[in-house]
Amino acid sequence: MHIYTFMTKNISLSDDAYNALAALKEKDKSFSDIILEITKKYGKKNLTSFAGKWHGSKEEAKKIFEEIMQERRKTRARDFPIE
């Protein structure tokens, strides 16, 4: 005989947050289902998942790259004594 128990957690939501979540909920889905869908869609992503996503022009990319390199040149490595 197997007994399955589901772990539950209580979380606190503002009324606005609850109403926003409830608006996404359908009859056949639980709040947990909705939260899992949202976090899967908008959760942390691996940096490589953004490869090829740039929709700007090559000129815009070049300008951004040049600005990054300019900022990098402003910084210098520092030596710290280790005792």
Please check whether residue 53 lies inside any domain of the structure: yes
Place of tokens 């490869």: 51
Please give the average per-residue pLDDT across 23-29, as a whole number.
92
Instruction: Find where tokens 């520092």 sit.
Output: 78
Q: Is the pLDDT of residue 64 over 90?
A: yes
**Is residue 15 in a domain?**
no
Domain count, the chain: 1
In a domain, 83, yes or no: no
Q: Which residue has the tokens 């900022």?
A: 71
Q: Is the pTM of this model over 0.85?
A: no
| Mean pLDDT confidence for 33-46 | 85
In angstroms, rounded to a whole number, what is the distance separating the alpha carbons of residues 43 and 47? 12
Let me know if residue 38 belongs to a domain: yes
Instruction: Determine the Cα–Cα distance for residues 19 and 1; give it in Å rounded to an integer.
Output: 40
pLDDT interval class at 7 (50, 70, 90) = confident
Query: Confidence band (pLDDT; 50, 70, 90) for 48?
Result: confident
